[in-house]
Amino acid sequence: VTGSGVFELCGADDPTPDLVERRQGAYEQSLRRWHETQSDACERAGNWLGVALHSNAVLGDGSDDDWVALNDRAYAYAELGEWDKARRDWDLAIEIPGRKYTIPFWRAILSLRDGDRQLYQEICERYVQEYRDATTGGVANTVAWCCSVAPQAESTVNLALELSRRAVAAVSKNSG
């Protein structure tokens, strides 16, 4: 709005392109935070359609590198019985560096639901290798539990047992 309009009426200069860009960036960040907050609220309320909707908005820029939003949406899809969509999101999220340790858990359990024991075993083998040095009880327990739900190769079972021992030791240490 140059030459005539609100800014001229108020005696203000037109905003610079830099200011317009900064305002747009701030708006986009606050909108993303709002969708993340709404997704969390929907999850607490068990509103899985709301979680999916707000996670879609967070992922709306076409990027598939936000493991939190992918995991939230995958879990929501699973709760809604949209197994193909849940599988797709967990398959993407499991490959993201720095993702939460529970993502392989959910993907492995979904593979059992699908009747794909081979994929389950592959995920568990990778899972126990990735977290073989876990020292926190929650991580060790989750990996051990996940990889003991169905029959495994002996090496995977042995690592899962070692992780479960660490989980028990961590709990004993924290409660004693």
pTM for the predicted model, two decimal places = 0.76
> What pLDDT is attached to residue 1?
46
State the average pLDDT for the chain.
85
> What pLDDT is attached to residue 64?
77
φ/ψ of residue 125, rounded to 5: -60, -45
Residues 6+ apart with CB under 8 A from 75: 43, 48, 51, 86, 106
Spans of the chain below 70 pLDDT:
1-13, 61, 153, 175-176
Summarised one tens digit per residue, pLDDT across range 84-98 is 999 999 999 999 999
Contact 173, 154 (CB under 8 A): no
**Terminal Cα distance for the chain, rounded:** 69
